Amino acid sequence: MGLLNVIKKHLTMQYVGVIVHETSCVVKIKKVKNAQTIHEEEKQFTIPSKEKLSKEVIVFLQSLQEEVEQTYIALFLNSHGQGVVPSCAKFAYEKFHIEYDHVKVICIDRKYSIYASNIDIRWAEKIFSETGLDFIFSPFLMLDNLRKHESRREGIVLHMLTSHNSITIMIFDKETLLYGTFINIAKEEDLLNTDFTEEIIDEDDTFDEIDLDMELEESDEIAEILENATIDTEVKSSAQDENDTIKLKLFGQDLRLVKYFDASLREFYENDLYKSDFVTYVKIYDTTSLNEDIVHYLKEQLLVDISIRKINIEDELIALIEQETGRA
């Protein structure tokens, strides 16, 4: 153990994970000293909009920073302008029509990369300008971290992270990334009508324009699939006769999740940009207590094994901070 880690072990370390939703903000705090957790707390705040933290949130975060010198603040990035590319090379971004200079790229294991638009990064820095941010974590990074702690399975595996208003999907063949997508499911219109290039820019901003043509094209294709999609909500019940059926009671966000999942899978299978093969296993990291009917429907449609692991997204965010600061 290095000298720095020895010193850190005896200092009080405070990890603060923040998740910003449309009109609310969740803050998770964990304090550690002598390798022991001495305090954990989770608070929820109301905010005016996703574009501005309330004064109450800012004052609370500043009080945490004043209380403990070694405080690390991290944001869970749940905005549209992000994704994954099955390579770390700049030319791969050109293939997917993403302007490399307009995104922040992190290479993972020299095999694939996670990106976020400069617009989203500047949005995050702007709303945390009074407190500062130590880390911005993509849901793809969280999902990738979760899957790496699972036993490796043969075949094509789809990993899905559900959160308050989004789903994140990554499809792997062993350690080779084949496909990934992030979708906000808070409102069905979000994907169909959002102009990603104008998101969070106001008149006083001087942000560079960003070309997310690939995301727009993919969104348009998924939107077209959704417009033509009909969810067959009658499935066979194993507990009844073969002629008996049960109707899935899917409404609102549950129904949108199923539709977006179907559309994303079809995009993976049908778009020539992806080296697709049939998914043989699905692993869901569930933070929202999925409706059992959703799982039933997916099993009936995909005819593959589905495993669900319940997680707390705030705890996973804290785990990422600990990992990055060398404590994990």
Question: For the segment 266-288, what is each residue's pLDDT rounded down to a tens digit?
Answer: 999 999 999 999 999 999 999 98
Could you give the strand order of the β-sheet that contains 112-117, starting from the edge strand earlier in sequence?
82-85, 112-117, 103-108
Res. 121: pLDDT tops 90: yes
Residue 290: its pLDDT value, please?
Answer: 84
Domain assignment of residue 92, yes or no? yes
Q: How far apart are alpha carbons 45 and 58 in whole angstroms? A: 11
278 lies in some domain: yes
Residue 185 maps to a domain: yes
Give the count of domains, the chain. Answer: 1
The secondary element (H helix, E strand) that includes residue 217 is helix 213-228
Q: What is the pLDDT of residues 229-270, one digit of tens each?
A: 444 444 434 444 433 333 445 566 777 888 889 999 999 999
Asked if pLDDT for residue 157 goes beyond 60, the answer is yes
Query: Does residue 147 belong to any structural domain of this protein?
Result: yes
Q: Do the domain assignments include residue 40?
A: no
Q: Look over the chain and give the mean of its residue pLDDT values, rounded to a whole number.
A: 82
Residue 8's pLDDT band (boundaries 50, 70, 90)? low
Q: What is the mean pLDDT of residues 225-229?
A: 47
Per-position b or e across 1-30, b if 16+ CB within 10 A of its CB: eeeeeeebeeebbbbbbbbbbeeebbbbbb
What digits encode the pLDDT tens for the residues 41-69?
999 999 999 999 999 999 999 999 999 99
In a domain, 66, yes or no: no
Rounded Cα distance between 56 and 46, Å, is 9
Domain of residue 268, residue span? 82-315
pLDDT at 155 over 60: yes
Classify residue 10: in a domain, yes or no: no
Task: State the pLDDT at residue 242.
Answer: 37
Percent of the chain with pLDDT over 90: 62
Residue 39, pLDDT > 60, answer: yes
Mean pLDDT to the nearest integer, 208-220: 43
Distance (Å, whole) CA 133 – CA 217: 32
In this prediction, residues 306-315 reach a mean pLDDT of 95
User: What is the rounded end-to-end Cα distance, in angstroms, of the chain?
Assistant: 13
Report how far residue 318's alpha carbon sits from residue 263's, in angstroms, rounded to the nearest whole number: 32
Tens digits of per-residue pLDDT, 15-37?
A: 999 999 999 999 999 999 998 99
Q: Rounded to whole angstroms, how far apart are CA atoms 285 and 152?
A: 16
| Predicted TM-score of the model (pTM) | 0.80
In a domain, 220, yes or no: yes
